[in-house]
Each structure stands twice: as C-alpha cells, then as structure tokens.
C-alpha cells in the first residue's frame, strides 16, 4: 500500500509541471499582445506621396531659380566660389559680404519705395544715414600724419562718397517751372502744411522759399537751418513776388539810389558819428524794401502817447503780407553785442529787455493802437538793427539765446543789412 502513495506524490509532481506549462503559455500570449498594441497606434501614413512631392518641389525650384537671380548676383556667386580672400576678422569670402550687402540694400530700397512719406524719413533718421555715410570713409585718427595720406588709404571709399554726393544733388534738385534755376528741399521742414525749399541758379544754393496754400513766398533773411535750430522762421518772414513789388513801390525814389545811399552811409560811418542811428533810420523809412521786401512802409511815431505809463514804440513797419505792424529798434552801428568772453554784453541785454517791455505794451494796448493810431498788432516781430562785425561764433551765441528767451526778436546787424538789401534787389527786381 506504500507504493501507491509514492505514485500519488509523483502524480502531484507531474501535475505541478503541467500547471506550470499553461503559465508559460500565458507569458507567450503577453509577448504577442505587445506588438499588437504598437502596430495600430503607429498608423503609418504613406510615405511614397511625400517623396514624390519633394521631388516635384525640387524640380520646380531648379527650373525657377535661374530667372530669379540677377546677373550681378550670379557673377558675385561665381567669384565667391573661386575667391580665397576673407573679411578681416572673419572667415567668409569678401565677395559673399558684397553680395549680402547688395541684397540688404535692395531690400531697404524696396521698403522705402512702398512706405509713406513720413515713415521713409524715420527709416534713415535719428543719425542712421549719418552713421552709414561715416562708415564709408572713417574719420582720420589722431595718429594720422596727413589728410592726404588718409584719403589715399581710403581712395576708393572716398570716391564712392563723392559719387553719393553727386547722386544726391542730381536726384534731389529739380528744375524750376520756367527752367531758370533749381529747387532743392531744406534740411528742416518748419511748417506742417507747407514746403520749405532753396531756390537758386545751382542746387542747394540761393534763397529759402515757402510753398504754402498754393502760394510761393521767399524769405530773403532766412537761412537754411541746421538740425539743432528747432524754432525756425515765422510765416511772416516770407513774402511773395507781388508783395515784394508793393514793398519796392513804397520807396521814395529808385531802389538803386537807395542802395547807393546805403553804401555812402557805410563810408562816412565812424565812432565819432553820433547821429549814425538816425541816418540809418531815415534811410529805412525811405526804402522799406531793404529788410527783405517784407514791409511796405516804415513810420516813426512822434509826439504821441497811449497813457501815463506807456512805452510807445518809436518806429513801426507795416508788413506786406497782412498789413500788421512789426516794431523796429534801431541802435547805433557801433553798439557792441558779444564780449570777448563769448557772452552777450549787459548793455545789449538792455535792448532785449526794452523789446520785451514793448511787446507787453503793444499786446495790452492793441485795441487802442488800432483805433487811435491805425497800428495793427498781430504776432508782431521785434527787429533790432545794431552792431556789426559779428563772427559766426558770435551769431550762434546770439541765435541760441534769442531762440530760448526771445523767440519773436530778430537781430539784423549793419553788415547783414547791406547784404540783405543787395540780395533783395538782385532777387526780386528781375521778377517784377
């Protein structure tokens, strides 16, 4: 009976082995499940169409590229492949840099062509254009022995800069309607609704003009402004040809005779001539056109008063543009303006203070002056005629101080008065 027990144990062992085999079969099932899950998730898209699309695209690109590349770029690319020269500090061929620069300049040109007028200025404004031109020819360093050596070392760049200058002159100066001269834009545009320009026999030379509301006017006393002169002229500084004609007709005598009289006054003028200011005042009253053709009459107010505390202007000038009056302060020709220290003298500041007091008075008493004296006050200018022999630095000092503290005041030295009279006569007489 013991033997059957042994067989039972052996049977159990066999049973265990049999039970283990299904477990192995289950593991095999797990292995078969894994690839079954991955294969549907991949859902591989057909790759053959993509390859065909790429091939077609490549073929189209190859056929389209030759017509799109300019001939100049082709030559540059061919030179770049054979050139071994490199850009200083880099490894790229120089011709590659040339091609790249040309491409960028072409892009900038296309952008400027399609943007509006104001944005075109903003693109190269704020010193961008100046920086670009400065990169063409660098400034000579302190160690440079001679400017000629500097230009010789950069002669191709200097030649390019000269070509740029001539190109600007050719493309920004336009012939006048009658073909007698050229019209060039000014560096600063002072009027939002008008155009300021320079008109003369050559580009960027001559008289500053204003085109506004369909009328052309000229400012004989106005100069083309530098970029730091932010105030600029007033609209009353400009007159049309018809208005200048009225100014010349208001003279007592021929204009040539008045100019000869001016030159005579200059010849007899001296430090001992205490009556020089009165003589010049009499000349301007006889020839009001000498102040740039802006006035039709210059009158002295004598024996009149507007009140016990009034400071009545001594000389007024009637404008040709609107009939309103400016105030004239005619000082002695030998009145000093700027001292040796480079500052405006205190004696001349007193003249400015008097002009400011007059401005306060005429604005307060404008109704009375209009009613009793037929003096029309509308944005009056205060023209001071004083001094002579100012250097360019002296003029800059006076101009800066006037712009900051006395915007309505104009200083006309006796030197500039003669030049202004000569320019006015030479410019307007042939047009009248």
Strands 215-219 and 207-212: antiparallel
Q: Is the pLDDT of residue 204 over 90?
A: no
Q: H or E segment at 383?
A: strand 382-385
pLDDT at position 24: 47
Confidence of residue 189 (pLDDT cuts 50, 70, 90): confident
Confidence of residue 302 (pLDDT cuts 50, 70, 90): low
Q: Is the pLDDT of residue 89 over 60?
A: no
pLDDT at position 274: 67
pLDDT at position 25: 47
pLDDT at position 373: 87
Q: Is the pLDDT of residue 91 over 90?
A: no
Reported as a single tens digit per residue, the pLDDT across 312-351 is 888 999 999 999 999 999 988 888 888 888 888 888 888 8
- Domains of the chain in sequence order: 72-169 (no CATH), 173-238 (no CATH), 253-431 (3.40.91)
Q: Is the pLDDT of residue 298 over 80?
A: yes
What is the average pLDDT across 213-229? Answer: 75
State how far the Cα of 328 lies from the Cα of 412, in Å rounded to an integer: 10
Q: What is residue 59's three-state secondary structure?
A: helix
Say what the pTM is: 0.66
Q: Is the pLDDT of residue 239 over 50?
A: yes
Higher-confidence position of 266 and 358: 358
In DSSP notation, 241-288 reads HHHHHHHHHTSSS-HHHHHHHHHHHHHH--TT-TTHHHHHHHHHHH-G
State how far the Cα of 370 lies from the Cα of 37, in Å rounded to an integer: 103
pLDDT at position 208: 92
State how far the Cα of 135 lies from the Cα of 392, in Å rounded to an integer: 30
pLDDT at position 295: 93
Residue 241 contacts residue 294 (beta carbons within 8 Å): no
Residue 432 contacts residue 254 (beta carbons within 8 Å): no
269: left (phi over 0), alpha (psi -120 to 50) or beta: beta
State how far the Cα of 297 lies from the Cα of 351, in Å rounded to an integer: 23
pLDDT at position 328: 93
pLDDT at position 88: 54
Higher-confidence position of 184 and 78: 184
Confidence of residue 238 (pLDDT cuts 50, 70, 90): very high
Q: What's the length of the chain?
A: 432
Residue 312 contacts residue 375 (beta carbons within 8 Å): no
């Amino acid at each position: 009976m013991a033997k059957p027990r042994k067989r039972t144990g052996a049977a159990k062992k066999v049973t265990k082995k049999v039970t283990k085999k299904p477990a192995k079969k289950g593991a095999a099932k797990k292995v078969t499940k894994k690839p079954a899950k991955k294969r549907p998730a991949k859902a591989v898209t057909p790759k053959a169409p993509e390859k065909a699309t790429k091939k077609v695209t490549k073929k189209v690109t190859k056929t389209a590229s030759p017509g799109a590349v300019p001939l100049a770029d082709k030559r540059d690319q061919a030179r770049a492949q054979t050139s071994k020269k490199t850009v200083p500090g880099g490894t790229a061929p120089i011709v590659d840099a040339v091609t790249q620069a040309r491409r960028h300049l072409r892009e900038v040109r296309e952008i400027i062509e399609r943007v509006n007028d104001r944005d075109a200025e903003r693109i190269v404004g704020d010193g961008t254009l100046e920086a670009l031109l400065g990169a063409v020819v660098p400034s000579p360093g302190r160690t440079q022995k001679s400017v000629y050596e500097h230009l010789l070392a950069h002669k191709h760049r200097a030649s390019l800069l000269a070509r740029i200058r001539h190109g600007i002159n050719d493309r920004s100066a336009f012939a006048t309607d009658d073909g007698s001269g050229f019209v060039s834009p000014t560096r600063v545009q002072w009027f939002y609704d008008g155009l300021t320009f320079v008109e003369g026999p050559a580009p960027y030379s001559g008289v500053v003009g204003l085109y506004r509301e369909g009328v052309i006017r000229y400012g004989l006393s106005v100069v083309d402004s530098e970029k730091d002169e932010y105030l600029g002229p007033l609209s009353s500084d400009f007159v049309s040809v018809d208005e200048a004609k009225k100014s010349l007709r208001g003279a007592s005598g021929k204009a040539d005779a008045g100019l000869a009289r001016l030159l005579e006054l200059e010849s007899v003028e001296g430090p001992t001539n205490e009556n020089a200011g009165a003589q010049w005042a009499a000349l301007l009253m006889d020839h009001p056109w000498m102040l740039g053709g802006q006035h039709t009459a210059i009158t002295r107010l004598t024996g009149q008063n507007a009140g016990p505390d009034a400071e009545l202007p001594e000389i007024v000038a009637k404008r040709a543009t609107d009939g309103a009056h400016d105030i004239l302060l005619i000082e002695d020709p030998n009145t000093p303006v700027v001292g040796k220290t480079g500052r405006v003298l205190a004696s001349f500041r007193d003249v400015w203070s008097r002009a400011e007091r007059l401005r306060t008075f005429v604005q307060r008493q404008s109704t009375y002056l209009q009613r009793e004296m037929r003096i029309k006050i509308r944005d009056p200018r205060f023209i001071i005629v004083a001094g002579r022999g100012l250097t360019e630095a002296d003029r800059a000092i006076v101009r800066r101080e006037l712009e900051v503290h006395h915007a309505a005041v104009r200083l006309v030295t006796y030197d500039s008065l003669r030049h202004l009279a000569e320019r006015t006569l030479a410019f307007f007489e042939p047009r009248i």
